[in-house]
Amino acid sequence: MASLYDLSAEAQNDLFEIWRHIAAERIGLAGKIDKGCPAPRGDLTKRPVLFFPLYSFLVIYQPQASPIRILGVLRGSRNV
């Protein structure tokens, strides 16, 4: 079965750093997914990517790729 998504090396590192932070702070992931839908962010980049809010994170991905390519996962409070 083919994977539904592909993680870039940067996205894998982002997820590991997020996991380390959560483990260190003992923060539960009881938050809810932010209401909203994936959207382009012309104010951040001209690249053909979409941004999706997930808990307190921002997932950046290429929807045109097959499988979908996740480029990065940023903490929402970060200055992108």
pLDDT tens digits for range 36-78: 568 888 888 899 999 888 778 888 888 888 888 888 888 877 7
Instruction: Answer whether residue 33 shows pLDDT above 70.
Output: no
Give residue 49's pLDDT: 92
Q: Which residues contact 31 (CB under 8 A, 6 or more apart)?
A: 55, 56
Give residue 56's pLDDT: 83
What domains can you pick out in the chain, each with its CATH number? Answer: 5-75 (3.30.2310)
Rounded to two decimals, the pTM is: 0.59
Give residue 24's pLDDT: 63
CA dihedral (5, 46, 75, 15) positive or negative: positive
